[in-house]
A and B are shown apart, each in its own frame.
Chain A
Amino acid sequence: MTYILGIETSCDETAAAVIKANKSEVSVLSHVVNSQIKIHEQFGGVVPEVAARQHLVNILPIVNQAIKQAKLTLNKISAIAATQGPGLAGSLMVGFETAKTLAWLNNKPLYEINHLTGHLWSWLLPEVGKTSTLNIPWPFIALIVSGGHTELVLVKDFVNHEIIGKTLDDAAGEAFDKAAKIMNLGYPGGPILSKRAALGKEQAWDFPRPMLQQQDFNFSFSGLKTSLLYKINKLGKLSDQQINDLCASWQAAVIEVLVEKTVRAAKFYQAKAVAVVGGVSANQNLRQAMTEKCVNNNWLLLLPHMTYAGDNAAMIALAGFMSHHLGRQSSNKNFLTSAIKPSLNI
């Protein structure tokens, strides 16, 4: 049995988790996340200095809590997995250096994990205290959608992951936040926009479906933002119902593009399943639209529990287990000089 401590500080969340895994099943023993969203809200935005300092204040108590909740001690841990990138440099550094130090002092291997690879496995994670079987339908297409990412990844096995499409400008979650900003909906914009959308009519307004004519698997959401802006400038003062309708129609456009491109990719690569992961995978309309497509095409739909949709450390620990144990990748023996990689790609 392998016990892996995961550490994640790539953006707004300080997170630590312990998983227990063997080649057929995985359990989450602990999963601790401290989000800085409330702090950013108070400042009206991110302050990198403050963010890094908050991670510093939180990291050791959170790691300690994760180990305690798992009812383990550090010497029982088999390896430490930490996010190396991509992310905010000052924030990444806190978690990664902490992991290096812990690995060094306790003589454990360090697994240097790509944050995006973490998301790829998040749908496999059971709730804390529960176990799930590692039953993976190869190959599968993963749509990673969050504030910072919109990527389509072909997952062939434990280590071979290929980005087959991505956003050419704004990430989907970022587009949600900016659209919310344009309509002055408040912070955090994305979830508020989705709530308003639930009260509006999708057919009320006509928004473009960017990139659907292109046969590739790339996305572009910048034009949708502009098109919303034009509509609002024309409308002048908006009633609540108009805002709801705009939210519904705009969200429908984003979701249609996300779903359509994912479906095309899954067909093209003859995928067995489709995974939708990352913060935006919590969006109910996206889940629903993707469910219909998967049922029609006989694909499994792989969705993370809500608690693992956003950034967390359990997925980082699991990614470590996947690549280094099941995928037999060797870990970096010279990790003492290893550094964060803020612009890391898959």
Chain B
Amino acid sequence: MNRISYSIHDTRRIAREILRQLGRRHIILLSGELGTGKTITVQAIAEELGVTEDVNSPTYVLMKIYPLQNADFDRLVHVDLYRIEYNQDTDELGLTDYLNDEKSLVVVEWPERILGNWPSDALLVQFYYGDKENIRTIDF
């Protein structure tokens, strides 16, 4: 699906749509340049799932975990691989437990840092800059 976002508000709405598209999957990969709306997407997903604390960038700690009270998921695992060296194995990130746990909704920013190692059923969402400022294409 190809969605055009004209604003942060649009991006948040599309984020909720991504969540509905998830089906039985529990891993979402958000791929796109700096400033295309990845963190906003995670914030909207978190809000939709009832996270009340502020969700901010986990770039420096690599991941932040938010407990969820939700029929499908026990926790939201927000991962940001921006600071990670290319081509590492997911095993070395301490992510394996969450990737294998269907009760963990794992949302990963900068997944391409270790592309090729992600479970094949992960939902890949790609963010692109549009022709004009504030416009983004979100593809999933």
Interface residues of A (CB under 8 A from B): 11, 40, 43-49, 86-90, 147-148, 166-171, 174, 178, 181-182, 222, 225-226, 229-230, 342-343
With A and B bound together, what is the CA distance between A86 and B64 in angstroms? 10
| B84→A46 contact, CB < 8 A | yes
B57 and chain A: residue at smallest CB distance: A170
Complex interface bits, B55-92 against A, C-beta within 8 A gives 1, otherwise 0: 01101111111000000000000000011111010001
A210 CB → nearest B CB, Å: 12
If A88-B61, A90-B94, A148-B59 are given as contacts, then 15 extra A-B residue pairs at C-beta distance below 8 Å, sorted by A number, are A11-B60, A46-B62, A48-B93, A48-B94, A49-B93, A87-B61, A88-B62, A166-B54, A169-B39, A171-B56, A174-B57, A178-B82, A222-B40, A342-B65, A343-B64
| Contact A46–B39 (Cβ < 8 Å) | no
The number of A-B residue pairs with CB atoms under 8 Å apart is 85
Which of B59, B62, B85 lies in contact with A174, CB distance below 8 A? B59
- Beta-carbon contact of A47 and B57 below 8 Å: no
Among residues of A, the one whose C-beta sits closest to the C-beta of B38 is A222
B34 engages A49 (CB within 8 Å): no
**Minimum CB–CB distance for A90 against chain B, Å:** 6
Task: Tell me which residues across on chain A come within 8 A of B50, comparing CB atoms.
Answer: none
Which B residues contact A (CB, under 8 angstroms)?
33-35, 39-40, 43, 54, 56-57, 59-65, 82-86, 88, 92-94, 113, 133
B56 touches A166 (CB 8 A): yes
Output the least CB separation between A145 and chain B (Å): 12
Instruction: With a 10 A CB-CB cut-off, give which of B40, B56, B88 has the most chain A CB atoms.
Output: B56
A48: chain B residues within 8 A (beta carbon) = 62, 84, 92-94
With a cutoff of 8 Å between Cβ atoms, the chain B residues found around residue A225 in the complex are: 34-35
- A148 with B92, Cβ < 8 A, contacts A45-B84, A47-B84, A47-B85 known: no
Given contacts A181-B34, A230-B133, contact A47 B88 (CB under 8 A): yes
Q: Contact at B85–A229, with CB atoms within 8 Å?
A: no
- Quick one: closest A residue to B39, CB to CB? A169
Residues in A whose Cβ lies below 8 Å from that of B85: 43-47
Q: Top 7 closest A-B pairs, CB basis? A: A148-B60, A226-B35, A45-B85, A49-B92, A43-B85, A46-B83, A170-B57
Is B86 a contact of A45 with CB atoms below 8 Å?
A: yes
- Nearest Cβ on chain B to A136's Cβ, whole angstroms: 29
Can you list 25 A-B contacts with CB-CB less than 8 angstroms, sorted by A residue number?
A40-B83, A45-B84, A46-B83, A47-B88, A48-B93, A49-B88, A49-B93, A87-B61, A89-B94, A147-B59, A148-B59, A166-B56, A169-B43, A169-B56, A169-B57, A170-B59, A171-B56, A171-B60, A174-B59, A178-B34, A182-B34, A222-B40, A225-B35, A342-B65, A343-B64
User: A225 vs B60: C-alpha distance in the bound complex, in angstroms?
Assistant: 17
Q: How far is the CB of B18 from chain A (nearest CB, A)?
A: 19
Chain B residues within 8 Å of A178, by CB: 34, 82
Q: Is the CB of A168 within 8 A of B56?
A: yes
> How near does chain A come to B80, taking the closest CB pair, in angstroms?
10
In the complex formed, the residue of B with least CB distance to A10 is B61
Pick the residue among A40, A147, A170, A230 that contacts B56 (CB under 8 A): A170
Instruction: Tell me which residues across on chain A come within 8 A of B82, comparing CB atoms.
Output: 178
**CA separation between A45 and B65, bound complex, in Å?**
22
A290 CA to B121 CA, complexed, in Å: 51
Closest to B53 in A: A345
- Does A86 contact B59, Cβ atoms closer than 8 Å? no
Q: Which chain B residues border A43 with CB–CB below 8 Å?
A: 85
Q: How far is the CA of A148 from the CA of B82 in the complex (A)?
A: 13
Q: Are A47 and B56 in contact (CB under 8 A)?
A: no
- In the bound assembly, the distance between CA atoms of A181 and B34 in angstroms comes to 10
Chain B positions within 8 Å of A343 at CB level: 61, 64-65
- A148 neighbours in B (Cβ, 8 Å): 59-61
Q: Are A47 and B92 in contact (CB under 8 A)?
A: yes
A167 and B56 form a contact (CB under 8 A) = yes
**Interfacial chain B residues near A222, Cβ < 8 Å:** 35, 39-40, 57
A171 touching B94, Cβ below 8 Å: no
Point out the residues of chain A lying under 8 angstroms from B35, CB to CB: 222, 225-226, 229
Q: Find the residue from B35, B54, B113 having the highest chain A CB count within 10 A.
A: B35
When chains A and B are docked, how far (Å) is the Cα of A89 from the Cα of B62? Answer: 9
